[in-house]
Amino acid sequence: MLFKSLIKPKNELTTVREDISLEDALQVLEQSGFRCVPILDKTGQIFRGNIYKMHIYRHKSRGGDMKLPVTYLLKNATKFVTIDSAFFNIFFSIKDLPYITVLDEQNFFYGILTHSSLLGMLSQSWNVKIGSYVLTVVSSGERGDLVDMAKIITKYTSIASCITLDVQSNELIHRTLFTLPEGVTPEKLKKIISNLERKSFKVPEIEDLKSF
C-alpha cells in the first residue's frame, strides 16, 4: 500500500483542463517550469492523461495547429495507480515516467508520486543515517543462506536493514546488502566478516557510512 505522505496532492499541483488548447497548455508548462503536467476533465476529478512540453514543441515545429485541444497530444492515459496499489505495482509502473498518477478509492485524481519521493523512501529503508557499515555478502543462493548469514551477523549486532539483489532463478550468485547499526566497531566488523567467510560467504564490498 502507498503511504499518503509520499503523494503530492492535487491542491499542490499544476494541472490543465481537457478543454484548453495546446497553446494555452504550453504557456502553463512554461510558467510552471515542469516538463509534464496532468490533464484533468472539466470537473477536475477525472485523470485523462499527461501533456509533455516536448510533444507540444515538436507539434509546433512541424507547423501543427496550436488551437487544437490539449487532449490531441495526450499521453499516459492508462499510466496510474491507486492509493491501495501494491508497492511492486507502483515501483514498476513509475519506471519510465517522471511521476505516476494516483487515484483515490472512487478512482478520482488524488495526486502524483514522483521519482524523487519514491527514491527517498527507498534510501530511508537502507537506514544510512543511523547505520555504521553496509556489507555486500555474496552467496550461492541455496535455501537457508539468508538465515545463516543473519545468524552469523546477529551473534555480534542487530541488523538495521537487509536488501537482497540478483534474485532471478537463473542467477548463480546472490548479493545481499546488510546495513549494520551505529556502534559497530572495526574490531566487531572484522569478526563478522571472518565468520561469514568461514561459512563460505564472500564479502567483496564494505561501505563505511560514517564517511558519507
Task: Please give the mean pLDDT across all residues of the chain.
Answer: 89
DSSP 128: G
Confidence of residue 168 (pLDDT cuts 50, 70, 90): low
Q: Please write the tens of the pLDDT for every residue from 86-96.
A: 777 787 888 88
Confidence of residue 187 (pLDDT cuts 50, 70, 90): very high
3-state secondary structure of 33: coil
- pLDDT at 167 > cutoff 70: no
Rounded CA gap, 176 and 119, in Å? Answer: 19
- pLDDT at 46 > cutoff 70: yes
Answer with the residue of higher pLDDT: 170 or 179: 179
Q: How far is CA 143 from CA 139, 174, 178, 204, in A?
A: 10, 12, 18, 21
As a whole number, mean pLDDT of residues 148-166 equals 91
C-alpha 159, offset from chain centre: 23
Domains of the chain with bracketed CATH: 4-121 (3.10.580.10), 127-211 (3.30.70.260)
As a whole number, mean pLDDT of residues 184-206 equals 95
Q: Which residues of 103-122 are buried (b: 16+ CB within 10 A; e: fewer)?
A: beeeeebbbbbbeebbeeee
Percent of the chain with pLDDT over 70: 91
Q: Are 141 and 135 within 8 A, CB to CB?
A: no
Q: Which of left, alpha, beta for 41 (phi over 0: left; psi -120 to 50: alpha)?
A: beta
Which residues lie below 8 Å from residue 31, measured CB to CB, with a gap of 6+?
none
Report CA torsion sign: 89, 90, 91, 95: positive
pTM above 0.85, yes or no: no
165-87-146-159 Cα dihedral, nearest 10 degrees = 100
